[in-house]
Structure 1
Amino acid sequence: MYEEIFPSRLAELRNQKAVSARDMSLSIGQNPGYINNIETGKALPSMASFFFICDFLGITPQEFFDIDKKDPEEIRAITDNLKKLDKKQLQNIASIVEGLVK
């Protein structure tokens, strides 16, 4: 299952960062074709490399595999800020969000 999800999820998250596969490969200390090989299904990263990939993308491993979250970095930032609000503020935000998703 992960072998099927991993390549497309990596490409999706990398594209959100607007970085090429080559540049990402070099940034995490790999050969220029490393990320391309993963995205085309020719290879899977080691556990250590997976952690480097997540660190580069600015996400947690859990966020990597949460395919329903299209923008995990932004969602985490919003969630962190929500934790700082009081109950009334949270109710106001909830009303706004409900209006947006209708």
Structure 2
Amino acid sequence: MDSKNFRERISQILAQRNLAEARVSIMMGHSKSYLNNITSGRSSMLVEDFLVFCDCTGISPLEFFHTEGTLDEVIQKVEQDFSGLDAHYKLLLSSLIHSLSQQSPK
């Protein structure tokens, strides 16, 4: 996620939760223009402030970075690539995925 997407994600979360930038900025212990400066690109956010933002908006850091559609786009691309393979490679790839899923921690 680049800085532009990071700023857009902040705005998206605020909009989804019907929260004003100024209100959350104050909840975070900053001036009411703090988040506006972040989302406009005039300032950067410290990691500590990012964690406070997550607390104030009720979102985990993992949820912040896992945006809707990201995984779906990856799955779509994999399906497209998979459909172009011949049957032999499809079986090999399916076997590999199954093997990896058995070794992956749940």
1:2 to partner: Cα distance: 2.5
Deviations 1:41-84 (A, max 9, x none): 11121111000000111111111011226xxxxxxxxxxxxxxx
What is the percent sequence identity of the aligned residues? 29
1:38 — aligned with what? 38
Alpha-carbon distance between aligned partners in 2 of 1:2 and 1:64, rounded to the nearest angstrom: 13
TM-score by length of 1: 0.63
**Which residue identity does 1:10 align to in structure 2?**
I
Residue type matched to 1:58 in 2?
Answer: G
Q: Map of 1:1-102 to 2, 5 A cutoff?
A: 1-68=1-68
Instruction: Report the number of matched residues.
Output: 69
Which has the higher Rg, Structure 1 or Structure 2? 2
Distance 1:20 1:59 in 2: 16
Higher relative contact order (Cα pairs below 8 Å, separated by 6+ residues): 1
- Distance (Å, rounded) in 2 between the aligned partners of 1:65 and 1:43: 20
Superposition TM-score, scaled by structure 2 size: 0.60
Is there any run of 5+ residues in structure 1 with no aligned partner, and where?
70-102
CA distance in 2, matches of 1:2, 1:57: 21
- RMSD of aligned residue pairs (Cα, Å): 1.3
Q: What is the alpha-carbon distance in structure 2 between the residues aligned to residue 34 and residue 27 of structure 1?
A: 11
Deviation at 1:18, TM superposition (A): 0.9
Q: Distance in 1 between matches of 2:36 and 2:28?
A: 13
CA distance, structure 2, for counterparts of residue 28 and residue 2 of structure 1: 23
